[in-house]
Amino acid sequence: DIQMTQSPSSLPASVGDRVTITCRASQNIYNYLNWYQQKPGQAPKFLLYSASTLQSGVPSTFSGSGSGTDFTLTISSLQPEDFATYYCQQSYSPPYTFGQGTKLEIK
Amino acid sequence: EVQLVESGGGLVQPGGSLRLSCATSGFTFSGYSMNWVRQAPGKGLEWLSYISSTRTTIYYADSVRGRFTISRDDAKNSLFLQMNSLRAEDTAIYYCVREGTSGWYFDYWGQGTLVTVSS
């Protein structure tokens, strides 16, 4: 199985900050990498696919990059509604594993 | 508007069974592959199972293979998960998830149904 490792697990930040979350795959997954946002008590929300393609309706402050084994999710200017937990997921081969999550917290 | 509504969760004893349902609307269900994903209390997301739009391809996570069965009824626009031999570690919120058409991603999620396995 492909293991997905996110870092950091927790990220204190302030409104207006630029933040980057890293996701590493245990083997080459090309660009089969997706990102989701989850707020407490809610279902996850789909943000990006194919490592860098933004889902319709997602603010352009979100961006993704990477290929192979190393990927990043960047939020260029944090808004209050962005404080949530973020998950990466590989869709290269089943089981379609998720990272353990990165909780973006208010500093 | 795409909607996915899970039902069938509840309290069940270890070793018991439950059948989860996911009623969908707002899209052509028969044209989409579907998945189940769960989340244990306070934990991360765990993908469980996939069924293709044509039912020809089905995948399971090792943790549920042989105990859980995914199925779909296109006439009823519904997805199902039959869960047998339930264990305490199966306690989680179970999400019904649609797979997008442009790639292998999960674009719409239901609100989830809680399954609690406890004596």
- pLDDT at residue A68, as a whole number: 98
Sign of CA dihedral B45, A37, A18, A27: positive
- pLDDT at residue B103, as a whole number: 66
Stretches where chain B sits below pLDDT 50 are none
> Averaged in consecutive runs of 10 residues, what is the pLDDT profile of chain A (107 residues)?
97 97 98 97 97 95 98 97 97 96 96
Determine the Cα–Cα distance for residues A50 and A54; give it in Å rounded to an integer.
9
Residue type, A60: S
- pLDDT at residue A46, as a whole number: 97
Partners of A102 in beta bridges: A86
B62 vs A55: CB contact, 8 Å cut-off?
Answer: no
A98 vs B100: CB contact, 8 Å cut-off?
Answer: no
A96 vs B44: CB contact, 8 Å cut-off?
Answer: no
A95 vs B62: CB contact, 8 Å cut-off?
Answer: yes
Our CA-based measurement puts residue B23 at a distance from the nearest CA of chain A, in whole angstroms, of 16
- Chain A residues touching chain B at CB-CB below 8 Å: 1, 32, 34, 36, 38, 42-46, 49-50, 53, 55, 87, 89, 91-92, 94-101
> How do the residues of chain A divide into helix, strand and coil, expressed in percent and rounded to 5?
5, 50, 50
Our CA-based measurement puts residue A82 at a distance from the nearest CA of chain B, in whole angstroms, of 18
- A80 upstream amide cis, omega within 30 of 0: no
- pLDDT at residue B104, as a whole number: 83
- pLDDT at residue A77, as a whole number: 96
pLDDT by residue (tens digit) across A16-38? 999 999 999 999 999 999 999 99
Asked if A43 and A81 count as a contact pair (C-beta separation under 8 A), the reply is: no
Determine the Cα–Cα distance for residues B75 and B13; give it in Å rounded to an integer.
32
From the list B44, B105, B109, the residue facing A91 with the nearest CB is: B105
Determine the Cα–Cα distance for residues B21 and B82; give it in Å rounded to an integer.
9
Residue numbers of B between 71 and 110 with CB closer than 8 Å to A? 95, 100, 102-110
CB pairs under 8 A between A and B: 65
A44 vs B59: CB contact, 8 Å cut-off?
Answer: no
From the list A53, A89, A95, the residue facing B61 with the nearest CB is: A95
- pLDDT at residue B71, as a whole number: 98
